């Protein structure tokens, strides 16, 4: 498939699953924090009963490979020690690989994020270990990928080591600039991070131009998927579009604003190995999100963690690769739950009615950290088929909250949100035994989570079982 045909296929795919692109991406993409691990202040302060998904990360794009060896400060070739795998042993590739002055200038750029400042867990590869893996122009933007020795500090407590990349020997940094930019005009786009030391791919998506660059090894097969598509019955599919990858570098260009870096996935297949990942990405800056949300129940009194929930609709749009006008958001319920400390702990249950009519449910937990910041995490998510109005659905959630900064105990709550016709509920185990019963007020209850609870039955005034519902787990978006 040649580049023109690929472009046409991607354009048709984007047009089938999204409205025409807007003139400004700022209208549809919220400003993204430079470090995904720091998107919400204190995010590691909470632990929720959700499944963690770790995916590999792919690479870049460019033209024919040109061997350009990195050099140390004395002008000699940089040493390649036993720790140097995959990316570091690959010659510079891309349309700018032969521009030795540009490549050397990029190699010497700072790895420090000027917005966040230095952090002990951020790699800062010594100059004599750095290699420019890729440098090239794609769709009006200039990309560069630099790899080097990973100097990130490993946490003394393995339980707090949430970033597996810290344990890698190799770290990467992405830089972006306009077409024709000099090396000094290239800007660091993401906090440098550790990656697979032995040949794993890496990718970057520029939301302003719609350009995706994936860097692997020669012979790799690559596909891209713009977004998950949720059908009316709640099923999810991801259409995979093949991408040619000469010299192990694949590029794809989407209509600007038609997809997001969060919704994009790329897959790299190499022999019996494969990697599927979302790319590192950047979008256009925007102010606070302006996404309308309809409240189905009265909102609680304003609290210090409300700002977390305000960002959820925009973040969900990015995950789904949709625009605000395509989705109807409803806050099914929000309220305070028992906290491990004497500060606000609030659960928000958000529903997004998608273009197909299916409903995506997402529950989050926010905790006031007591220092002017808030931490938050998911409690669960799910997809419901089209047809039943939200006000007639029952949602069950388990929230597990702990303040890791204080080594507090975990407080587990069972939250039931049901139609007002339900006046009571009971938690049932896998064998059908009733573990606990409790009343519902306006269809809602927040109670301590009964151990071994598997489902919740809601009851009418005459004791009739109205519905049996499992707690939310984690919605599968086809990844």
Tokens of 7: 């472009």
Cα-based distances in Å from 35 to 190, 285, 358: 6, 15, 32
Question: How far, in Å, CA of 368 to CA of 100, rounded?
Answer: 51
Q: Where are the beta strands (DSSP E) in 199-264?
A: 202-206, 211-215, 221-225, 229-230, 236-237, 241-243, 249-253
Which position has the token pair 């580049």?
Answer: 3
**Per-residue b or e along 308-347, where b marks 16 or more CB atoms closer than 10 Å to that residue's CB:** bbebbbbbbbbbbbbbbebbbbbbbbbbebebbbeebbbb
According to DSSP, the residues that pair with 378 across neighbouring strands are 364
Give the chain's end-to-end CA distance (angstroms, integer): 25
CA 100 to chain centre: 35
User: Is the distance from CB of 248 to CB of 195 less than 8 angstroms?
Assistant: no
Say what the pTM is: 0.74
Residue 252: CB atoms within 10 A of its CB come to 29
The enclosing H or E element of 239 equals none
- Going from the C-alpha of 252 to that of each of 178, 380, 477, the distances in angstroms are 17, 33, 22
Find residue 439's DSSP bridge partners: 424
Residue 84 is predicted with a pLDDT of 45
Are 255 and 270 a contacting pair, CB within 8 Å? no
Q: What is the pLDDT along the chain (479 residues), one digit of tens a residue?
A: 544 555 544 544 444 444 333 332 222 222 222 233 323 222 223 333 322 222 333 333 333 233 333 444 444 334 444 444 456 666 899 999 999 999 999 999 999 876 665 555 678 999 999 999 999 999 989 999 999 988 876 655 555 444 555 567 888 999 999 989 999 999 999 788 888 655 689 999 999 899 999 999 889 999 999 999 999 999 999 999 999 998 899 999 998 778 899 999 999 999 999 999 999 998 754 444 578 999 999 999 998 888 888 889 999 999 999 988 999 999 999 999 998 777 788 999 999 999 999 999 999 999 888 777 788 888 999 999 999 999 999 999 999 977 655 666 888 999 999 999 999 999 999 999 999 999 999 999 999 999 999 999 999 999 999 999 999 999 999 87
Question: What 3-state DSSP class applies to 285?
Answer: coil
**pLDDT value at position 284?**
52
- SS3 state of residue 270: strand
Percent helix, strand and coil across the chain, each to the nearest 5:
15, 35, 50
CA 320, 323, 326, 330 torsion-angle sign: positive
Contact between residue 367 and residue 376 where contact means Cβ atoms under 8 Å apart: yes
Pairing between strand 374-384 and 424-428? unpaired
Query: Of 310, 317, 208, which is closest to residue 263 (Cα–Cα)?
Result: 317
Distance CA(175)–CA(135), nearest Å, equals 9
Residue 60 DSSP symbol:
B
Q: Is the dihedral of CA 134, 136, 139, 141 positive or negative?
A: positive
Q: Which of 376, 446, 395, 469 is nearest to 50 (CA)?
A: 376
* Residue pair 176/210 in contact by the 8 Å Cβ criterion: no
Q: How far apart are CA 453 and CA 350, in angstroms?
A: 23
With H, G, I as helix, E, B as strand and everything else as coil, classify residue 350: strand
Spans of all domains in the chain: 3-19+30-40+58-278, 293-469
C-alpha span between 345 and 330 (Å, rounded) = 21
Report residue 280: phi and psi, to 5°: -65, 150
What is the C-alpha to C-alpha distance for residues 305 and 321, in angstroms, rounded to an integer?
A: 26
Could you tell me the two tokens for 296? 């189905």
Nearest CA-CA partner of 206 in 146, 112, 286, 138: 138
């Amino acid at each position: 498939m040649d580049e023109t045909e690929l472009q046409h296929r991607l354009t048709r795919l984007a047009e089938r699953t999204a409205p025409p692109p807007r003139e400004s991406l700022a209208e549809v993409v919220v400003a993204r924090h430079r470090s995904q691990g720091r998107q919400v202040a204190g995010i590691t302060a909470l632990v929720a009963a959700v499944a963690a998904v770790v995916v590999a990360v792919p690479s870049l794009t460019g033209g024919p490979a040109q061997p350009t060896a990195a050099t140390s400060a004395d002008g000699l070739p940089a040493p390649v020690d036993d720790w140097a795998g995959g990316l570091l042993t690959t010659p510079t590739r891309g349309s700018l690989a032969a521009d030795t002055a540009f490549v050397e200038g990029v190699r010497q750029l700072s790895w420090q994020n000027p917005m966040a400042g230095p952090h002990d867990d951020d790699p800062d590869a010594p100059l004599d270990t750095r290699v420019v893996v890729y440098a090239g122009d794609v769709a009006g933007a200039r990309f560069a990928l630099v790899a080097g020795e990973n100097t990130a500090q490993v946490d003394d407590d393995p339980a707090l080591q949430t970033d597996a990349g810290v344990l890698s020997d190799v770290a990467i940094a992405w830089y972006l600039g306009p077409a024709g930019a000099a090396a000094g005009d290239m800007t660091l786009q993401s906090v440098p991070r550790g990656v697979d030391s032995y040949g794993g791919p890496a990718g970057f998506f520029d939301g302003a131009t719609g350009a995706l660059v994936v860097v692997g090894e020669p012979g790799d097969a690559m596909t891209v998927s713009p977004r998950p598509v949720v059908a009316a019955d709640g099923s999810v599919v991801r259409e995979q579009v093949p991408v040619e990858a000469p010299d192990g570098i694949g590029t794809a260009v989407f209509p600007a604003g038609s997809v997001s870096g969060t919704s994009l996935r790329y897959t790299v297949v190499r022999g019996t190995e494969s990697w599927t990942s979302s790319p590192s990405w950047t979008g256009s800056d925007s102010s606070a999100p302006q996404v309308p949300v309809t409240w189905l129940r009265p909102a609680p009194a304003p609290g210090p963690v409300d700002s977390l929930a305000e960002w959820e609709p925009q973040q969900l749009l990015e995950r789904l690769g949709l625009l605000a006008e395509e989705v109807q958001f409803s806050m099914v319920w929000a309220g305070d739950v028992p906290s491990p400390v004497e500060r606000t702990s609030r659960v928000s249950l958000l529903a997004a009615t998608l273009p197909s009519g299916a409903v995506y449910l997402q529950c989050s937990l926010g905790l006031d950290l007591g220092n002017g910041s808030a931490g938050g995490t998911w409690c669960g998510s799910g997809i419901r088929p089209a047809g039943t109005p939200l006000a007639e659905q029952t949602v069950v959630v388990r929230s597990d909250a702990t303040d890791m900064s204080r080594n507090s105990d975990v407080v587990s709550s069972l939250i039931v949100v049901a139609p007002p016709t339900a006046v009571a509920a009971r938690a049932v185990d896998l064998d059908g035994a009733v573990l606990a019963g409790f009343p519902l007020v306006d269809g809602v209850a927040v109670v301590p989570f009964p151990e071994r609870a598997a489902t919740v039955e809601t009851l009418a005034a005459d004791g009739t079982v109205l519905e049996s519902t499992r707690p939310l787990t984690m919605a599968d978006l086809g990844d």
